[in-house]
Chain A
Amino acid sequence: MRKILVGVKRVVDYNVRVRVKPDGSGVALEGVKMSVNPFDEIALEEALRIKERGEAAEVVAVSIGTDEAQQQLRTALAMGADRAILVKVTEAVDPLVASRVLTEIAKRENADLVILGKQAIDDDAAQTAPMVAALWGRPQATFASKIAINGGTAIVTREVDAGLETIEVDLPAVFSADLRLNEPRYVKLPDIMKAKKKPLDVVEFASLGVTADVGLKTVFVEPPKPRAKGIVVKDVAELVDALKKKGLV
Chain B
Amino acid sequence: MSKILIIAEHDGSALNQATARAVTCARQIPGAHVTIAVFAAEPAAVASAAAVLAGVDAVVTVASAANGHALAATLAPQVVALAAGYTHVFAASTSFGKDLLPRVAALLGVPQISDAMAVEGAYKFKRPTYAGNAIVTLEAPADRILVATVRSASFEPAAGGGSASISAADVSAELPTHTRFVSLSAAPKSDRPDLASAAKVVSGGRALASKENFDIVYSLASKMGAAVGASRAAVDAGYASNELQVGQTGKIIAPELYVAVGISGAIQHLTGIKDAKTIVAINKDPEAPIFEVADFGLVADLFVAVPEIEKALS
Q: Does A27 sit at the interface, judged by CB under 8 A? A: yes
Contacts of A243 in B (CB 8 A): 257, 278, 280, 296
CA distance A248 to B276 in the complex (A): 12
> Closest approach, in angstroms, between the C-beta of A11 and any C-beta of chain B?
9
Q: Are A233 and B297 in contact (CB under 8 A)?
A: yes
Contacts of B248 in A (CB 8 A): 121, 124
B242-282 vs A, CB cutoff 8 Å, 1 = contact: the mask equals 11000011010000110000000001100000100011100
Q: Does B312 sit at the interface, judged by CB under 8 A? A: yes
CA distance A156 to B131 in the complex (A): 27
Residues of A within 8 A of B (CB): 12, 14, 17-18, 20, 26-27, 39, 94-96, 99, 118-119, 121-135, 138-140, 142-143, 145, 155, 158-170, 173, 178-180, 214-224, 227-228, 230-233, 235-237, 239-240, 242-243, 246, 248-249
Pull 14 A–B residue pairs with CB atoms less than 8 Å apart, ordered by A.
A94-B111, A96-B112, A122-B129, A127-B102, A145-B242, A159-B243, A163-B185, A163-B242, A165-B183, A180-B235, A216-B140, A219-B138, A221-B134, A233-B298
Q: Does B137 sit at the interface, judged by CB under 8 A? A: yes
> Closest approach, in angstroms, between the C-beta of B46 and any C-beta of chain A?
15
Q: A179-B249, A236-B300, A236-B309 are in contact. Are A135 and B106 (CB under 8 A)?
A: yes
Instruction: Name A167's contact: one of B131, B137, B176, B182 (CB within 8 Å).
Output: B182
Which residues 215-243 of B have a CB within 8 angstroms of A? 224, 232, 235-236, 241-243
CA distance A148 to B137 in the complex (A): 40
> Closest approach, in angstroms, between the C-beta of B159 and any C-beta of chain A?
21
Contacts of B249 in A (CB 8 A): 39, 118-119, 178-179
CA distance A49 to B95 in the complex (A): 26
Q: Does B113 sit at the interface, judged by CB under 8 A? A: yes
Contacts of A126 in B (CB 8 A): 98, 102, 114
Q: Does B313 sit at the interface, judged by CB under 8 A? A: yes
Which residues 116-139 of B have a CB within 8 angstroms of A? 124, 128-139
Q: Which residue of A lies closest to B11 (CB)?
A: A162
Top 5 closest pairs, chain A to chain B, by CB: A134-B106, A215-B141, A130-B102, A131-B106, A127-B102
Residues of B within 8 A of A (CB): 11, 71-73, 76, 94-96, 98-107, 110-115, 124, 128-141, 144, 176, 178-187, 196, 200, 224, 232, 235-236, 241-243, 248-249, 251, 256-257, 267-268, 274, 278-280, 286, 291, 293-300, 305, 308-309, 312-313
CA distance A10 to B298 in the complex (A): 39
Q: Are B107 and A134 in contact (CB under 8 A)?
A: yes
CA distance A118 to B106 in the complex (A): 16
Total of A-B residue pairs, C-beta within 8 Å: 246
Instruction: Name B312's contact: one of A14, A165, A232, A236 (CB within 8 Å).
Output: A236
CA distance A135 to B263 in the complex (A): 41
Contacts of B72 in A (CB 8 A): 130, 140, 142
Q: Are A162 and B187 in contact (CB under 8 A)?
A: yes
CA distance A103 to B131 in the complex (A): 27
Q: Are A236 and B298 in contact (CB under 8 A)?
A: yes
Q: A95-B102, A134-B76 are in contact. Are A215 and B134 (CB under 8 A)?
A: no
Q: Are A167 and B71 in contact (CB under 8 A)?
A: yes
Q: Are A14 and B133 in contact (CB under 8 A)?
A: no
CA distance A170 to B71 in the complex (A): 14
Q: Which residue of B lies closest to A18 (CB)?
A: B130
> Closest approach, in angstroms, between the C-beta of A125 and any C-beta of chain B?
5
Instruction: Name B103's contact: one of A121, A133, A228, A246 (CB within 8 Å).
Output: A133
CA distance A17 to B295 in the complex (A): 22
Q: Are B111 and A216 in contact (CB under 8 A)?
A: yes
Q: Which residue of A lies closest to B149 (CB)?
A: A126
Q: Are B136 and A220 in contact (CB under 8 A)?
A: yes
Contacts of B298 in A (CB 8 A): 232-233, 235-236, 239
Q: Are A180 and B99 in contact (CB under 8 A)?
A: no
Q: Are B134 and A18 in contact (CB under 8 A)?
A: yes
